[in-house]
Amino acid sequence: MDILAASTVPAHILKEALTHSSYANEHPGTTDNERLEFLGDAVLELAISTYLFQTYPHKSEGELSLMRSSVVNTVALANMARQLNLGDHLRLGRGSEISGSRDLDSVLAATFEAVIGAVYIGCGWQMAYNYICQHLAGQERDYSGKDNKSLLQEHLQSQSAESPTYCVVHTDGPDHARQFVVEVRHAGQVLGQGRGRSKKAAEQEAARAALRKL
């Protein structure tokens, strides 16, 4: 498992970061990773914001926000968790294991954030910042200058007068980390589905999926 500074992060904190709530529910006295996820989410956003602010001094606030969203989203974080093989080390309850939660984007993204929280608690800001930049810096280079919804709108308008519509089809997760699942539809067809911590973020992910499909 490629967790930077794993040897210096206290073992009990790292273990907590890899403990899903379903496991804790089945093992009384065990602490799940939701608090570390909460902290890691904030550290992640600050680190990426700092990196982008320093790397792109001539970008506007709006451009920086869009670039950040291209890096800090459920799909991107889940993919990084897969590269780090975090799912292989995640402690899950039996029910969640059977249902396939080990490979869910939402679970993997949350685990990655919890690990970031663990690195921050165990090693401090600089190590956490270095860890985040090592794994995520540079992904914003795929940013096109326009958000995914605008790009999808332009693409579809070149072929049809009908605009795409976005619909929330599911929500899950605890109150402090609510996840929205949104579908983007056009001409009676589902073009893509996205997940995010807000409707806006989920819509962008759905548009991204649709663009890949188209």
Catalytic residues: 41, 113
What residue ranges in the chain does DSSP mark as E strands? 165-172, 179-186, 189-196
Token readout for 127 is 């190590």
Token readout for 45 is 């956003």
Residue 7 DSSP code: T
CA dist., res. 79 & res. 108, Å (int): 8
Q: Within a 10 A sphere around the Cβ of 182, how many other Cβ atoms?
A: 26
Token readout for 43 is 């550290």
Q: How far is CA 85 from the centre of its chain?
A: 15
